[in-house]
Amino acid sequence: MSNSKRTKAKFIDDVQVTNDCLTSRAGLNLFARYLRGIGLFPHINRLFGSMRKTPKGTPIDELCKQVLCFLFDGTSRHLAHFDVLAKDPGYAAAIETDINGMASSHTVKRFYQAFS
C-alpha cells in the first residue's frame, strides 16, 4: 500500500445520511478540516516550531489542532480531560488524528508552559 493511500484513508471525504451514530462530536471533523483547509498549520509551524526542543513527541501543529478542537468541543474545561480523550478512538477519528498521536494532559501542560 502506498503512503498516499494510507494517509488518505483517515480523512472523511463524503457526508451522507445514516442511521449509525459514529460519534456525538461530528462537528469536530468539519472544524478540523476547516483548520487544515485554511492553511493554518504552516503558519503555526513557522511561528511556534522553535518551541519544540527535540523531534520526539507530538508536533506543534498537531498539539495546536488538538487544543483548538478541545476548546471548540467544550465538553470539559479541565486539562485532565485530555487523558480521557487520548483513549477515545471515536474522538481521535473525528479530529483526524491517529489514536497513538493523541496528547496527554501532561503534554498539553508542558505546551502551555512553553509560552510563559
* Domain extent for 93: 24-113
pLDDT at 97: 92
Q: Is residue 38 one of the residues assigned to a domain?
A: yes
| Number of structural domains found in the chain | 1
Q: What is the pTM of this model?
A: 0.77
Q: What are φ and ψ of residue 21, in 5° steps?
A: -105, 100
Provide block-wise average pLDDT over 10 residues at a time, the chain (116 residues): 53 73 75 94 92 85 95 92 93 91 94 89
Confidence (pLDDT) at 52: 83
* Domain membership flag for residue 42: yes
Whether 18 is in a domain gets the answer no
pLDDT attached to residue 87:
94
For residue 110, the model assigns a pLDDT of: 92
Residue 67: inside a domain, yes or no? yes
Q: Does a structural domain hold residue 14?
A: no
